[in-house]
Structure 1
Amino acid sequence: MTDSTRRRGERRPATPEPEDAWLLKVAEGASRDAGGVPVELLGDYLRMLADAATHGRQAKSRELDAVGLLGRRAAEQGISAGPVVQLYLSAARRLWQDLPMVVRSRDREAVRAAATAVLQVIDDAVATLAEGYAVARRDLVRREETLRRELIDDLLRGDSDLGTLVERAEPFGLDLARVHQVALAAPSRRLPDADAAISALEAVMFDRLGDRDVLVATKDGLLVVLAPADTGTVDRLPPAMDASNELGRLMHRELSRLPRGGPWRVAVGRSHPGLYGIARSYEEAREALAMAGRLHTDTPVINAHDLLIYRVLLRDQPAIVDLVQAVLAPLTRARGGAEPLLDTLHAYFDTGAVATESAKRLHVSVRTVTYRLARVKTLTGYDPTDPSHRFTLQAAVLGAKVLNWPQELLPIPT
């Protein structure tokens, strides 16, 4: 193979030919104007502009397709859309200023035709560039959402390989060695616009907690927030001052601003360290949501810490069923059934065994409260005003609430 044959078979070198050196200067200047966006993202755009100006040639489909691919590449490299478009517009401005043939021409019609051709190429190229960029961004968002959903599923399940999870969590800014807590938000009906809800929560969470160690996603029709906890105070704050209370209130307040989905109910699990602590906090939040539904509570924000007693009761359901049956079943013989007496007992215990406060909560007279307490003593043999009887009665009342008795029949012990 001769030298001339070899040269004909070789690809064109990346460095411009001498007559195209001015195009390289235009590209470098445009890159500086756009804040350092790589000149490689221009591709053959400058040659297309030069041909349009000098020969009136419009861009071909394959050339525009190449521009679209450059738009995708820019998005994949994480370059913002604004600087990329600025690169193309600045390149067009600089090329027009430096275009030798047009600058030397004194034919007004030739200049007008050249300008028209150049503007058409700019219009087609920038539109194609933006479309390619947008397609790539949508693909990236969908890919990230899939990765986020898969990560949150594995984190909440708690049985995945730790090393793999650490590697997958790193791009999302999660340090699995930290103490975290999980909060769940349930809409009143089917989850409405999940993207809008996630965006709203991310904005407020990132503003309050920073964009690291916070993950917002959906799972089983619920919004899931994984947030860091203050390791210095997590074990020293009383429940009323627990940071999880603030997390729950923050979520509920932000979600309540959305046009659909309300009223929302938020449940927050306790803070636990490590990977398995995330799964544990999630299970606590799930149980708290389910328990709130069974208890028919109207509290919008539920803390798993406040429902520990119910978890203890349910761990031995046969025993709590037996307790309710043995202690409270006689109340069904009362006029009006057991419910008024159970409501009175619940209010009485919640107010620290103060009849006047119980009467205010129930919107009845103090005399009615004392009468009902006396009926409880007569029917059950347990005196609510006697401290030695009070614990048994209160445990039975809590058990009745969690079993939704007497609205539902007690489960048959197995």
Structure 2
Amino acid sequence: MTEGGRRPGPAGTGGDDTWLTSVAREASADAAGVPVELLGDYLPLLRDAAVTGRRPRRGELDAVEALGRRAAEQGVSAGRVVQLYLSAARRLWQQLPHLDRSTDSETVRATAEAVLHVVDAAVATLAEGYAAARRDLVRREESLRRDLVDDLLRGDSDLGGLVERAEPFGLDLARVHQVALAAPGRRLPDTGAAISTLERVIFDRLGDRDVLVATKEGLLVVIAPADAVSPGRGPAGGEPAGELGRLMHGELDRLVRGRPWQVAVGRPHPGLYGIARSYEEAREALTTARRLRADTPVIDAHDLLIYRVLLRDQPAMVDLVRAVLTPLGQARGGAGPLLDTLTEYFACGEVATEAAGRLHVSVRTVTYRLGRVRALSGYDPADPRDRFTLHAAVLGARALDWPRRPLPA
């Protein structure tokens, strides 16, 4: 029964439409309170189809499509709005009076066919409008997110405006954040799959608040709170920040396209400008690793601080390499083998046996080469007074890609 016990008048009599209002309210309750306004003129369309067999016009379906868009914009789920329409059709069918009196199966069949046609057309059109609105919302959100990320990484925007724009994305600019950059081995035709992969694993691990995933200049960018990645770490603290990088690389490496991936992670820093600082560190670490021809999957900016110092005064670094290492070019085979030996010797803590294993040569060969370094350069790798100078020069040579490339003038 409907409100007040009233039922629609006989077919064709143009009876009271109050019962449609009751049907709409009941359908709204079935759909967990979806606003009845989202039904629009859907119920009169069903009634007309049941009474006269009339099919919906294009303009009437366009109105339903607009209602689908409105539902998406209001944040109503697609399942609930479809449930509203199906429940409304079911309740209207139950209250059609001429079906109660009809004993003609053909009449019932024709009425059912007309009503189901309206339901089919309306729900399909509703879904199209909903999907179109969701696509528009996603594009708008992606654009807003991309602009926000650009301004955050640049670090020179209005603080108040950024705080307001970051709030809808759940980003608390007062927290300590770190930035990670992922570079594909080859250019990706579509970054959507990589972004979806990263979002899925990072949101699952860190939560979907205070985390942003975007693209910038062909790189995937992740901004994440440092305490969520490594609980207990202080701002700009000494513990390596590579856990986020390992998490990202582990997922990206599963993708067919883009491999091999290289991920660089900046150190965590507090506040708005800390995000820009962490980004610059990550970008510089990625650039430095490429200059060093390092194939390390995850690069921690913390581990490359010495190169930042060296590269900021390139003329002094060139002078150091020229004065200390260019004499090694007089050796048979050039400076390359001696430089490789020094690199591994310093990397393993000045242990000749370990260096020999890394170089796949005998210990005698290592000691011979170290002797040649001492004889040609005048610097003894075993002397603590000379070791620092030699090590700094070796690091500078790697950063300058010497001796493969000539030193800058």
What TM-score bracket applies, with the shorter chain setting the length?
over 0.9
Query: Is the 8 Å Cα contact of residues 176 and 226 (structure 2) preserved in structure 1?
Result: yes
Deviation at 1:203, TM superposition (A): 0.9
Relative to 1, partners in 2 of residues 1:101 and 1:252: Cα closer, same or farther, differing over 3 Å? same
* Mapping of residues 126-145 of structure 1, within 5 Å: 126-145=123-142
Taking structure 2 as the reference length, the TM-score comes to 0.94
- Would you say the 8 A contact 1:192–1:261 is kept in 2? no
Residue by residue, what CA displacement relative to the aligned partner does 1:210-258 show, whole Å, maximum 9, x if unpaired?
Answer: 111100000000000000012842259643xx3x211000000010111
Match status 1:356 vs 2:357:
no
1:404 aligns with 2:404: no
What's the counterpart of residue 173 of structure 1?
170
Q: What whole-Å deviation, never above 9, does each CA across 1:233-285 have from its counterpart, x for those lacking one? A: 2259643xx3x211000000010111110110000001111111111110100
Per-residue displacement from partner, 1:84-107 (whole Å, max 9, x unpaired)?
111111111111111122222222
The letter of the residue matching 1:334 is A
Contact preservation (8 Å) 1:54, 1:102? no
What do the CA deviations read for 1:70-93 (whole angstroms, capped 9, x no partner)?
000000011111111111111111
Identity %: 75
Q: Shift of residue 54 of structure 1?
A: 0.7
Aligned residue in 2 for 1:183? 180
Specify the alignment match of 1:302 in structure 2: 299
Give the match for residue 262 of structure 1: 259
Q: Decide whether the 8 Å contact of 1:53 with 1:102 is kept in 2.
A: no
Q: Find the aligned partners of 2:339 and 2:235 in 1 and give their Cα distance.
A: 35
Deviation readout 1:174-193 (Å, 9 max, x if unpaired): 01111100000000011343
Aligned residue identity for 1:234: G
1:402 aligned counterpart, secondary structure: helix
Work out the CA distance in 2 between the residues paired with 1:94 and 1:18: 18
RMSD of aligned alpha carbons: 1.3
- Partners of 1:345 and 1:383 lie apart in 2 by 11
Distance change in 2, residues 1:127/1:236 (3 Å): closer
- Selected match of 2:374 from 377, 399, 402: 377
The residue number in structure 1 matching 2:86 is: 89
The equivalent residue for 1:26 is 23
Q: Which stretches of structure 1, 4 residues or more, deviate above 6 A after TM superposition? A: none
Aligned-partner SS, 2:325: helix
The answer on whether the counterparts of 1:45 and 1:67 sit within 8 Å (CA) in structure 2 is yes
Matched residue, 1:13: none
> Which structure 2 residues correspond to residues 2-401 of structure 1 after superposition, within 5 A?
19-230=16-227, 232-235=232-235, 238-239=238-239, 242=240, 244-401=241-398
Q: 2:4 matched to which residue of 1?
A: none
1:349 maps to a residue whose letter is F
CA contact 1:191–1:222 (8 Å) conserved in 2 = no
Query: Cα distance, 1:109 vs. partner?
Result: 1.4
Rounded to whole Å, the distance in 1 between the matches of 2:271 and 2:256 is: 36
Gaps of 5+ in 1: 1-16
Q: Which runs of 5+ in 2 are unaligned?
A: 1-13
Taking the aligned partners of 1:235 and 1:204, their CA distance within structure 2 comes to: 24
Following superposition, the deviation at residue 115 of structure 1 comes to: 0.6
Task: Please give the secondary structure, in 2, of the residue aligned with 1:169.
Answer: helix
Alpha-carbon separation, structure 2, partners of 1:344 and 1:406: 14
Determine the C-alpha separation between the residues in 1 that align with 2:103 and 2:292.
87
* SS state at 2:181 partner: strand
Q: Which amino acid in 1 is paired with 2:104?
A: D
Letter of the structure 2 residue corresponding to residue 103 of structure 1:
D
Structure 2 counterpart of 1:285, which letter?
Answer: A
**TM-score, normalisation: structure 1:** 0.93
Amino acid at match of 1:254: E
CA offsets 1:272-320 (integer angstroms, 9 cap, x no match): 1111111111010000000000111121000001000000011111111
Q: Does the 8 Å contact 2:236/2:269 carry over to 1? A: no
CA deviation map 1:85-140 (0-9, x unaligned) = 11111111111111122222222211111111001111110110000001000000
Write the distance in 1 (CA, Å) between the matches of 2:66 and 2:151. 35
Q: Is the 8 A contact 2:236 2:267 kept in 1?
A: no
Check the 8 A contact 2:237/2:268 in 1, yes or no. no
> By how many angstroms is 1:18 displaced?
8.1
Give distance in 2, aligned partners of 1:30 and 1:236: 56
Conserved 8 A contact 1:341-1:373: yes
